[in-house]
Amino acid sequence: MSVTFPAAAPAPASADLSVWPASARAASDGDVTVAGVSLAAAADRFGTPLYLLDEGEVRDRCRAYRAAFPDADVVYAAKAFLCRAVVRWAEDEGLGLDVCSAGELGLATSAGFPPGRIVLHGNAKSPEDLYAAVRLGVGRIVLDSAPEIARLAALVPEGDRRQVMVRVVPGIAAGGHAKIRTGTGDQKFGLSVTDGSAQHAIARILARPRLELVGLHCHIGSQITSVKPYVAAVRRMVGLMTQVRDHHGLELPQLNIGGGHGIAYRPGEAALDPAALAVRVRAELEDGCAHAKLPVPRLTVEPGRALVGPAGVAVYRVLTVKETSGRTFVAVDGGMSDNPRPALYGVRYAPLLIGRRPTAAPAVVTVVGRHCEAGDVLAEDVALPGDVRPGDLLAVPAAGAYHLSMASGYNLVGRPPVVAVRDGSARLLVRRESLDDMSRRDVGL
């Protein structure tokens, strides 16, 4: 008598890995490898939740930016994700580094990064931030408010000068969410051209002999996938540079147009093309400067997410599967403490079951975290095999940026480790945060 078994669902070999690292490969047994490293094996070795970072992908993306902007400074925005290994990769590939605090600056210099290739900015720099920047010899400091001008000038030793830029609000709204649009005057960053505060700050800096104004800086938003807003920003920045020349007789040698370059989090989504960005921005800059009879300033771009985001994969283990009120919730052993972005910005991901071949057709589920918040949702209404069960592994691609850099100690779960993968081997970059790590800070009874 013949026995008929249920037909297996398509193996992960048919899964869409377009938003995964370029090295990702689906195996016939349901596993996925990244840079030749099995994700299931890595989960067994390092535990879950786990973050893997494809070193080759990060380096390739750094090189792509250097190729697209050969005559510009490419500066990695460290807030996307920072550890000593990433600092070393950026240095190896010829990038500068953009930091926002004395902590980020200290970690970078402790890894041997040259401080002269570091840019410091932030909307509210503490006295410690400014002091560290002066003491360590940071290459450029971006001033974000009028009070910072006097504070920084007071810290610079007599007879010395420090290179500074002014963060300008060009009046352009761009970005994937209202909370990450920084190019208009209704948010906390920068000095507006419209109300004259940028022009006033420029005049104040030029009156300070210990400060050397070398250029303008703008950052119009994050997760931007169109070139057009950057072109518009360049046009307005050239206009302000023309005003500086006409009013103060100074031709500024540098222009920093920030970052915010968008990536795809799910198959089919758009991503910003750095080569196309470079062509359009360079053309606008050269045309604008020629029309204004200005020398073309040296350009700086600050990609962060675009370098590390697509290189990262988060791996979770399923703890429970629950059906309630017609919905299926798949709860994993991480959540908003290692990835707050869905709760903050409504970001949507494409998790994938790995480590085995499913035997059921896809079903719509919501992947949630383990934390005591109704908003602890990692992926809402996504398709996963209908037989997903406790013990399974779920992998989330495009997880390299703004996950662990914004991680918290909520519920004292502990932040996951970070593992670099390359050429079939895996090495620990950042170990898992333990209860002992967290307890050491609690010094009173």
Q: Write the DSSP assignment of 318-331 as a string of letters.
A: EEEEEEETTEEEEE
Q: What is the mean pLDDT of the chain?
A: 92
Does residue 291 sit in the same domain as residue 156? yes
Q: In the 8-state DSSP scheme, what is residue 23?
A: T
Does residue 48 sit in the same domain as residue 73? no
Does residue 294 sit in the same domain as residue 326? no
Query: Residue 443, exposed/middle/buried by CB under 10 A (0-12, 13-18, 19+)?
Result: exposed
Does residue 319 sit in the same domain as residue 212? no
Does residue 277 sit in the same domain as residue 394? no
**Cβ proximity of 354 and 385 under 8 Å:** no
Residue that has been written with the tokens 């009173």 in this structure: 444
Q: Of 252, 278, 303, which marks where a domain is finished?
A: 303
For residue 260, pLDDT beyond 70: yes
Residue 362 pLDDT: 95
Give the residue-averaged pLDDT of 247-276. Answer: 96
One-letter identity of residue 339 = N
Alpha-carbon span 247 to 217, nearest angstrom: 19
Alpha-carbon span 315 to 139, nearest angstrom: 38
**Cβ proximity of 435 and 414 under 8 Å:** yes
Give the residue-averaged pLDDT of 64-81. Answer: 98
Does residue 285 sit in the same domain as residue 139? yes
Burial call 294-327: b when 16+ CB within 10 Å, e when fewer: bebbebbbbbbbbbbbbbbbbbbbbbebeeeeee
CA angle 271/73/225 to nearest 5° reads: 15
User: Residue 61: inside a domain, yes or no?
Assistant: no
Domain total for the chain?
2
For residue range 165-189, list pLDDT tens digits in order: 999 998 776 555 444 444 444 556 6
* Other beta carbons within 10 Å of 1: 2
Does residue 348 sit in the same domain as residue 429? yes
pLDDT band at 222 (very low <50, low <70, confident <90, very high): confident
Find the length of the chain: 445
Residue 297 pLDDT: 98
Residue 188 pLDDT: 63
pLDDT band at 248 (very low <50, low <70, confident <90, very high): very high
User: Residue 445: inside a domain, yes or no?
Assistant: no
| Structure tokens that stand for 4 in this block | 């008929």
The residues, ordered by sequence, that sit 6+ positions from 31 with a Cβ below 8 Å of its Cβ are 12, 38, 39, 40, 41, 354, 355
Q: Comparing 138 with 10, which gets the higher pLDDT?
A: 138
Residue 15 pLDDT: 81
User: Residue 64: inside a domain, yes or no?
Assistant: no
Lowest-confidence segment of 40-44, 65-69, 195-199 by average pLDDT: 195-199
Return phi, psi of residue 188, to 5°: -85, -15
Residue 182 pLDDT: 45
Residue 186 pLDDT: 55
Write out the residue range of the structural domain in which residue 97 sits. Answer: 69-303
pLDDT band at 403 (very low <50, low <70, confident <90, very high): very high
pLDDT band at 1 (very low <50, low <70, confident <90, very high): very low
Give the residue-averaged pLDDT of 385-397. Answer: 97
For residue range 274-288, list pLDDT tens digits in order: 999 999 999 999 999
Give the residue-averaged pLDDT of 14-32. Answer: 93
Alpha-carbon span 416 to 49, nearest angstrom: 6
Would you call 83 a catalytic residue per the annotation?
no
Give the residue-averaged pLDDT of 95-112. Answer: 97
DSSP H helices, 96-227, are 102-110, 127-136, 146-155, 197-206
User: Residue 4: inside a domain, yes or no?
Assistant: no
Residue 171 pLDDT: 77
Residue 14 pLDDT: 62
Percent of the residues in the chain that have a pLDDT greater than 90, as a whole number = 87
* Nearest 10 degrees: Cα torsion 388, 394, 398, 401: 130
Distances (CA, A) of 373 to 48, 341, 368, 370: 20, 14, 10, 9
For residue 84, pLDDT beyond 50: yes
User: Residue 96: inside a domain, yes or no?
Assistant: yes
Residue 134 pLDDT: 97
Alpha-carbon span 398 to 55, nearest angstrom: 14
Which pTM does this prediction carry? 0.92
Does residue 351 sit in the same domain as residue 262? no
pLDDT band at 192 (very low <50, low <70, confident <90, very high): confident
CATH of the domain at 334: 2.40.37.10
Does residue 140 sit in the same domain as residue 252? yes
Does residue 198 sit in the same domain as residue 79? yes
Does residue 348 sit in the same domain as residue 233? no
One-letter identity of residue 432 = R
Does residue 229 sit in the same domain as residue 168? yes
Lowest-confidence segment of 195-199, 241-245, 334-338 by average pLDDT: 195-199
